Structure 1
Amino acid sequence: MENTRNVLDFFQKIVKEEPDVSAAVAAIRTLMNILENFGDGETLRGLSEELRKATEEMKKAECSITSVQSGCELFQRFITLTSLEQSNFKDCKEIMKKRGEIFLRKLQEARPKIARLGAPFILDGHKILTHSKSRVVLQTLVEAAVISKKRFHVFITESHPDLSGVAMRDELLKHSIGSTLILDSAMGYVMESVDLVLVGAEGVVESGGIINKIGTYTMALCAKEMHKPFYVLAESFKFVRLYPLNQRDLPQELKFSSTIIESNHSNLLDQHPQVDYTPPGYLTLLFTDLGILTPSAVSDELIKLYL
């Protein structure tokens, strides 16, 4: 790629033309493109800097910045695990490309694995509450309804301000899964009648808590108060090295788009954050491609990923 603008265009093209591909996977494919086209006469330091610049550029897009950050960090960690042992850059680059291809294959296998783990927790007659649109939650619901032939009903929040819950409901209708679209403010009203809550995550932090679409924390509070299981479905490439203690600890770049930050850098109090942080104490289980985890087990798995 000739410049950072090309990086952003390449990334956004994938996001726009392939709606089933997550932002993290699109970002990793963009980094792979840079790796494949990087000159053989360059250096590892130069490549590392190019990948870092590309990651920062992709954060300017209107997408899940948390998953872009975590996916890119894990990708760069994975491809450099053994590459530095080689005597010249060309050999290093070839090994990095092969490792990058392996990493991408693992990512493609993640969502079906999670769906198979989560589907048995959905039983006939269940009423399920979910928030916003999540590809992995959708695949899990389809796995339970279409493959396992279970009958259940899904309540979906509209998920303001982008109304992503509407898109989620449209997807469920395609698979003839019964669903009801509800106001975000109605989640407390509906909570007493549901059997469990299923949500995705834009990021899973070191404490075992999650960063996800604004309103997730409110839903988790309601579920905890009414003693409803709160299950999170998330791929391991969304495990991010952050340890927030509260909402204020979330970096601004994760809570607001780059456009909002640049135009309101002196005062963000009038802007609504795109995500919130849900502490681990409100989560029951996390379904990942690494297995079914308790929130307390996340830190161990995250350490393994970065070792």
Structure 2
Amino acid sequence: MEDIRNELDKLEEYLKIKPLYWDFDKGEFVWIDTRLIPWKELYRSTKDYHRVAQAIKEMEIRGAPAIGVSAAYGLALATIYSNASKVDDLLKDVKEAYNVLASTRPTAYNLFWALNRLWNVILSNYEKNDLEDIKQNVLNEAHRVYIEDIKNNVNMGKYGSKIIENNSRIITHCNTGALATAGFGTALGVIRYAFYEGKSIHVYADETRPLLQGARLTIWELKKEGIPSTLVVDGASGLLFSKNMADLAIVGADRITLTGHVANKIGTFNLALAANYHKKPFYVAAPTSTVHPTENPNDIVIEERSQDEVTNIMGKLNITVDGTEAFNPAFDITPPEIVEGIITEKGIVKKPYLNNFKALLYGRQ
């Protein structure tokens, strides 16, 4: 445990914004409630995996990497606080928690990747028949998921900053910063890293309807970092590119297939089309834990959320006629043909994505 805490200490320099973490003294999971930003910065905590599942489902915690890390800690909580006296009973408790957590957000692949990773730790230690050893190993694995996410984000920043020239003007969509990860960020992490290198940049942040993650969260992060930024409506990208006010777009992802199909916040496809029409590069930044090892984009499940998110603003103001029906898909899928490159912690993947992802992930084509 000491080596894990030492490694965490070394990463503190990258955590100017700390969206979630493990409280070693209290033995509980802590996160910032992103629904309340920018009006309030409120941290919540729990020892109950049901509460973690609720936080993911209700978007107190959001962003695929953050969901994955939180699910890992949720499963760890279920493991270490189980009252089971036998390993078989522990497995039953943890499997129940697995199912609860897995049911929260269907599109974010990091969720399932993290849950399977911890579940495999339990199975690999099953024969030891040592409850306390299993519990400690599962918690340690959750810590590793957390640590790796931060490291991966920083490495994405190093690779991705190479595509950002000095004086670049960048459009981004939704929130892909520290608040969407264990810390630092994916697409916004790339932008952040370029800024740290001393490059002069300007960010156009889409407001990102209906929950305004761009207006509320991305601008909040950019202001904290002092990165020059402008908030724009979601439909502004075509105009920005046509007037030569923007040079490229960088977004995150909730799920990517081996073929390079990218599921991300609704409106991403529109941004990619605008960039492609104006011959501007459209990049995606995501860790390899977001890559779903399938060649079939139809395997991507698109989450549909409540109509109420569309018909009112953050539950505060109705904006349409009572009884109006609304369609609220949380994500869309951008085809690989219009994606310039996918920035990962292992490098930038280019077309043909199927061959290059197989080479990157499995060492073969």
- Regarding TM over 0.5, the answer is yes
CA distance in 2, matches of 1:71, 1:170: 29
Partner of 1:72: 114
CA RMSD of aligned residues (A): 3.4
Partner of 1:104: 146
Q: What CA deviation, in whole Å up to 9, does each residue of 1:168-221 have, x standing for no partner?
A: 123212222222222211211112322211101122223222111100011112
SS in 2 for 1:256: coil
Is 2:138 the partner of 1:88?
A: no
The equivalent position to 1:166 in structure 2, one of 215, 225, 229, is 215
Amino acid at match of 2:277: E
CA distance in 2, matches of 1:299, 1:149: 35
Question: 2:252·2:264 contact (CA, 8 Å) conserved in 1?
Answer: yes
* Pairing 1:114-263 to 2, within 5 Å after superposition: 114-135=156-177, 136=185, 137-145=187-195, 147-167=196-216, 168-192=218-242, 193=244, 194-241=246-293, 244-245=296-297, 250-252=300-302, 254-256=303-305
Question: 2:307·2:326 contact (CA, 8 Å) conserved in 1?
Answer: no
SS in 2 for 1:109: helix
Alignment TM-score, normalising by the size of structure 1: 0.78
Q: Which runs of 5 or more residues in structure 1 are unaligned?
A: 261-268
SS in 1 for 2:87: coil
Partner of 1:298: 357
CA distance in 1, matches of 2:85, 2:348: 42
Q: What CA deviation, in whole Å up to 9, does each residue of 1:236-270 have, x standing for no partner?
A: 22223555546xx6435x2336999xxxxxxxx84
SS in 2 for 1:22: helix
| Higher helix residue share | 1
CA distance in 2, matches of 1:301, 1:257: 38
CA distance in 1, matches of 2:163, 2:120: 32
SS in 1 for 2:175: coil
SS in 1 for 2:237: helix
Question: 1:27·1:71 contact (CA, 8 Å) conserved in 2?
Answer: no
Question: 2:76·2:142 contact (CA, 8 Å) conserved in 1?
Answer: yes
Is 2:95 the partner of 1:49?
A: yes
What is the deviation of 1:110? 1.7
CA distance in 2, matches of 1:284, 1:18: 26
Partner of 1:29: 73
Alignment TM-score, normalising by the size of structure 2: 0.66
Q: What CA deviation, in whole Å up to 9, does each residue of 1:73-123 have, x standing for no partner?
A: 442365257435x34253555544444433332223221111121122211
The aligned length equals 283
Question: 1:239·1:302 contact (CA, 8 Å) conserved in 2?
Answer: no
| Alpha-carbon spacing, 1:201–1:55, altered in 2? closer, same or farther (3 Å) | same
CA distance in 1, matches of 2:290, 2:343: 12
SS in 2 for 1:187: helix
Identity %: 24
Amino acid at match of 1:117: Y
Q: Which runs of 5 or more residues in structure 2 are unaligned?
A: 1-27, 29-46, 178-184, 310-324
| Alpha-carbon spacing, 1:71–1:257, altered in 2? closer, same or farther (3 Å) | farther
